[in-house]
Amino acid sequence: MRKGTKFIAAILLLALVFSIPGLSVFASAEDETYTPVPYTLYPAPEGAYVGDTMPFVTEDGTLEIYYLYDTDHNGQGYHPIYKYSTKDLCGYEDHGMVLSYGDMSDPDPALGTGSVMQDQNGLYHLFYTGHNDIGNGGLGKECVMHATSTDRENWTKIPEDTFFPPEGYSKDDFRDPEVFWVEEEQCYWLLIGARENTLGGVIARYTSTDLKTWEFHGYFYAPIKQYMLECPDLFSIGDKWYLTYSWDCVTYYAIGDSRDGYFIEPDDCVLDGNNFIFYAAKDVSFDGKDYLCGWLGRAGLSVDSGMYQWAGNMLNHQLVQHEDGTLGVKAPDNFAQYFTEDKAFTAVEKEGTVEIDGSSIKLSAEAGSQALADMGMRAPTMMLECDVSFDEGGCVGFAFGGTENDPVYTALCLDAGRNLLHYEGYEITELNDYEPAAYTKFDFSAGGTHHVQLVCENEIVVMYVDDMKALSLRVNHSINGAHIGVFADGCSAEFSNITMKVPA
């Protein structure tokens, strides 16, 4: 055989070897072109942001999500209410503004959160917060306001229905009314975040038979530990009742055996992260499932710092009720109809001891070092699923970076040593040098294998683990052609049954 023929045969043999599943591959495929996509799963208005949400399901099964419209240049009047609608959480129609703020002489030059509902006669009602820093002539900065509509697009304010905080409550903290019909009592309930002068932040309760005149019943829930309980919501799943509220840049929940309570917060009463990662979330029952609708804050002053500002992109988690009554979250089931095309990937050893066997990657690293496998460019929008097992007390996860323009890798961690899910934009070699910044608690004490869903749309990356917790983030190190990989920090780990899917 001539030398040229031998060379060609060798090249063909290498090509065959690299295409056989189960064999390690140590060469990078050429990167695709990275093109950002529209925010289809996590929408935001152009040049503005989604603030607190108010979900409502129409008679034809459409989910409408009303929200406070925020910008970087709010004037004297701000936070008009806008609306999105969706049939499947995989695409949204933008309806624009449905309710404007008032003048400085009105109680509502700024609008705050509320709720949308339909009364027993078919009329639609929007109860919302009026906010005026001047103080409304001593009545208080905040009040409950009312608007009605026959088509949910054109709303008429009813100023005479406005009411202010009762005696013994802060005049400046009285917001986010949630209104609903209670069949057993043949009346409407209104829950509202308030501040009682001795108990601090509470959820107060009113009732009404006509949605115009309200009777005050005192506080409904008082944990006696928060300054305020914003955006309260009450809902049931099965035979359990749940209260959600937000404060300290976090959404919390409590559990009760009846609508009236007594409500108790579980040991871990947070379903996503801190620092405005998932805020002002409210429940909605839609298409036979329950969801929490909230928002992921916009990036702070430092890229990938894990510190976010108020308002950003809409973010909806599907709720999971566990046998003990606690709640978990997972990616909406409908995402399986959105991410339908398999994306082939080629794993490449980058550092440490790595074994690649088809859709499984084993990694092993000594204390103080990392093992890492690179799976190529992260698609602009994608869902990755896998099962993860690792040493007791270990730290493993997903790495982003590894390109000529962004050579370092940052780490999204499942950290059993700290019992946290976390990300902070640090280089992967600096994981043990700093405290986590963007995080949520996760109990790894039982060990075993964990199922992970990773949903990505542009810089938004949402990690779900075991239908228990989410950690939602903005990871700028993951876009513009950055690679995605898996890593183990000072431990052994296996990532198995890895799949990547993109929209068709």
Q: Is omega for the bond preceding 219 within 30 degrees of 0, making it cis?
A: no
pTM: 0.93
pLDDT in tens, 223-269: 999 999 999 999 999 999 999 999 999 999 999 999 999 999 999 99
Grade residue 426 by pLDDT with cuts at 50, 70 and 90.
Answer: confident
Grade residue 1 by pLDDT with cuts at 50, 70 and 90.
Answer: very low
Q: What is the CA radius of gyration of the chain?
A: 25
CB 318 within 8 Å of CB 339: no
Residues in the chain: 504
For residue 30, the model assigns a pLDDT of 53
Which DSSP helix (H) or strand (E) runs through 405? none
Of 370-379, 424-433, 477-486, minimum mean pLDDT range? 424-433
Beta bridge partners of 17: none
Determine the distance from the C-alpha atom of residue 422 to the mean position of all C-alpha atoms in its chain, rounded to a whole number.
14
Contacts of 348-356 spanning 24+ positions with Cβ under 8 A: 348/25, 348/26, 348/27, 348/28, 348/373, 348/374, 348/375, 348/376, 349/24, 349/26, 349/373, 350/374, 350/402, 350/485, 352/488, 354/24, 355/24, 356/23, 356/24, 356/25
Grade residue 16 by pLDDT with cuts at 50, 70 and 90.
Answer: very low
For residue 90, the model assigns a pLDDT of 98
Q: Find where tokens 């780990």 sit.
A: 493
Mean pLDDT of the chain: 93
Residue 27 pLDDT more than 60?
A: no
pLDDT in tens, 264-315: 999 999 999 999 999 999 999 999 999 999 999 999 878 898 899 999 999 9
For residue 17, the model assigns a pLDDT of 35
Q: How far is CA 405 from CA 133, 348, 401, 409, 425, in A?
A: 48, 19, 9, 12, 16
For residue 28, the model assigns a pLDDT of 43
Residue 70 pLDDT more than 80?
A: yes
Strands 381-390 and 492-503: antiparallel
Residue 367 pLDDT more than 70?
A: yes
Residue 316 pLDDT more than 50?
A: yes
For residue 303, the model assigns a pLDDT of 83
Grade residue 482 by pLDDT with cuts at 50, 70 and 90.
Answer: very high
pLDDT in tens, 377-394: 999 999 999 999 999 999
Q: What is the side-by-side order of every strand in the sheet holding 438-441?
A: 348-351, 370-377, 483-489, 395-401, 409-415, 420-423, 438-441
Cα angle: 269, vertex 273, 279; to 5 degrees: 85
CB 358 within 8 Å of CB 22: yes
Which DSSP helix (H) or strand (E) runs through 350? strand 348-351
CB 276 within 8 Å of CB 305: no
Average pLDDT over residues 193-222: 98
Of 178-182, 303-307, 338-342, minimum mean pLDDT range? 303-307
